[in-house]
Amino acid sequence: MTEQDPSKNTPAELSSNEIAAGGPVPGDLSLLEEELAISAEVASPGFFPSINAAEVADASRSAFFPNAHFTGSFNGPNQVYAWRSETKYQGCTYINNRRPGELYIVGGDFPPIEGPVPPGPFISKADATTGREIWRTYVDNANVTKRFIGNGNLNILDNGNIPFSWGTQVVLIDGDTGQILKHQNLPTGQAPAEDANFKHLCILPDRTLLLKCQVRPTGETGQGTAAIIHGIQKGLKQPPSYVVAVEPDTLEILDEIQLEEPSSAPHAIDVIDGRIVAYCPQDSGMVRIAWDPRAKKLSFDNWFAKPIRPGQTTTAAATLMGEWVAMQTNGAGSDKIASTIAVAHRDDASRMIDVFPFGQLEKGQFSFCMPKPGGDPENQMIYSADQGIEKVAGIKLDQKTGKLEVVFVVDNNTNTFQGVIGPKDKRVLLMSDAVKDDPSLPMIKAFWSGAYTERVTWRDAATGRLLAASDCFDPLTPNSLVTPGFGGRIYFPTLKEFIVMQVLPK
């Protein structure tokens, strides 16, 4: 177990949110029974029924959490309470709940591009209130293995065990003890094994694991997922990605399929007329793969959407909105053309409509939309974040026609997912918001240099109106998520630790 830092949370270090809390934040215990009941209703098949047993809410990676609560006020002032985890977690990226009180953390998977590599990735189990570590299981150390280390997703199977993949490896971890139960090497197809990272792991409705690798551009030697973006922006060629289907309890490889292009963003799972499909974003658009659970075979489906306009860069992960598939562009950034949100009909990809939520780029602006679009399929709202221009938009989808209407644009500077929490009539948009050390510095330069702090914002998801905002802390780990928890709590992962927060009326 990691030793505790005795100087942690001394009065001189406390923010106003921490002073207000005065200690760990247990959450509203009266909400647990309701949250567990809703979680059982909305859980994707194969996943543990929890607020986020999947890396981003569910098999479709929706970042949609109707089973989580906003415990503040919609009409009056609010107070944010915060407390730092008792244990430090280097490179803390993904945080998942299992049962109330049980928290799982991925760390050690966000190394710096150059210089010494911290050991990892590792999976930790922690107390959900204090952040005190219960156990830690390391699966790699690149100083020894020389592997390319990038982000790794965290998903919890319906039996409580954790399948975890990184590099060209996948393991099954006992969710109670941290013991590694199974291990498997993964094939990489046309992608060189030394440049492949199987970040993308999801659980299909028949419990099969579907994994897809990100690939570091050839000639790029940096570590971490950021090295992929660095290589692309330097013009290096990126090999195509590979998809592998794996049995969840034995890790036996069932089938594999070669994509024609790089697929740097994760896949999203859907079921259409009883068929299991996965939407895989590629540089030129979105391809769909089908899984036959009886034959245990992968195949390309007759569906391909092309949302990329000339001058734009790679498509982000899909957001499923009923009959439509929403896509965000400029995943690798562009100084030539603004980002768009496009929707394509799931029965006919040629039925596609897009919109520029932020208008056209002004001189000197750089569009950078690393995260997938957020979505509220019940209220037909899509959310788009462009950190390059430091704004977030809310967009209304007409389910019948696919028409897109921009409802609001707010100044909110985030490079991560736009989570949606709460009941249908009181949805809240949960996001990080970066505050630059030098307001005149372009955000892309501040991002790469780390010259910013970051806070959490809670906004009315229908209007973008700010309901609450936390103090500024160390930046949210890039490519991670402000994670909802039980009892109205949220978790904010940083490269040092994570912070537990809750909002209450002031």
For residues 493 and 486, the answer to whether their CB atoms sit within 8 Å is no
**E strand or H helix that includes residue 143:** helix 142-145
Q: Residue 12: its pLDDT value, please?
A: 54
| 425 burial type by CB count under 10 A (0-12 exposed, 13-18 middle, 19+ buried) | exposed
Q: Which of 485, 451, 482 is nearest to 469 (CA)?
A: 482
> Which pLDDT score, from 0 to 100, does residue 258 have?
98
Cα-based angle 13, 18, 22 (whole degrees, multiple of 5): 110
167: exposed, middle or buried (Cβ count in 10 Å: 0-12, 13-18, 19+): buried
Q: If DSSP codes are grouped into helix, strand and coil, which group holds residue 349? A: strand
pLDDT at 4: 36
**DSSP SS3 for 167:** coil
Pairing of strands 64-65, 419-421: parallel
Chain mean position to CA 315: 15
Which residue carries 């089973």 as its tokens?
67
- Residue 407: name the closest of 439, 432, 376 by CA: 376
Token pair recorded at residue 300: 């390309």
Helices and strands, number each (H, E), in the chain: 5, 32
How buried is 144 (Cβ within 10 angstroms: 0-12 exposed, 13-18 middle, 19+ buried)? exposed
* Tokens encoding 88: 């430090």
Percentages helix, strand, coil for the chain, rounded to the nearest 5? 10, 40, 50
Tens digits of residue pLDDT in 71-92: 999 999 999 999 999 999 999 9
* pTM, to two decimals: 0.94
E strand or H helix that includes residue 145? helix 142-145
- The per-residue pLDDT for 13 is 81
- Please give the torsion angle defined by the CA atoms of residues 119, 122, 127 and 129, in that order, rounded to the nearest 10 degrees: 70
Q: What is the pLDDT along the chain (506 residues), one digit of tens a residue?
A: 333 343 344 445 899 999 999 999 999 999 999 999 999 999 999 999 999 999 899 999 999 999 999 999 999 999 999 999 999 999 999 999 999 999 999 999 999 888 889 999 999 999 999 999 999 999 999 999 999 999 998 999 999 999 999 999 999 999 999 999 999 999 999 999 999 999 999 999 999 999 999 999 999 999 988 888 888 878 899 999 999 999 999 999 999 999 999 998 999 999 999 999 999 999 889 999 999 999 999 999 999 999 999 999 989 999 999 999 999 999 888 999 999 999 999 999 999 999 999 999 999 899 999 889 999 999 999 999 999 999 999 999 999 999 999 999 999 999 889 999 999 999 999 999 999 999 988 888 888 888 999 999 999 999 999 999 999 999 999 878 899 999 999 999 999 999 999 999 99
Domains and their CATH numbers in the chain: 11-505 (2.130.10.10)
Q: What are phi and psi of 95, to 5 degrees?
A: -130, 130
Let me know the angle formed at the C-alpha of 483 by 481 and 487, rounded to the nearest 5 degrees: 170
- Residue 305 host element (H or E): strand 297-305
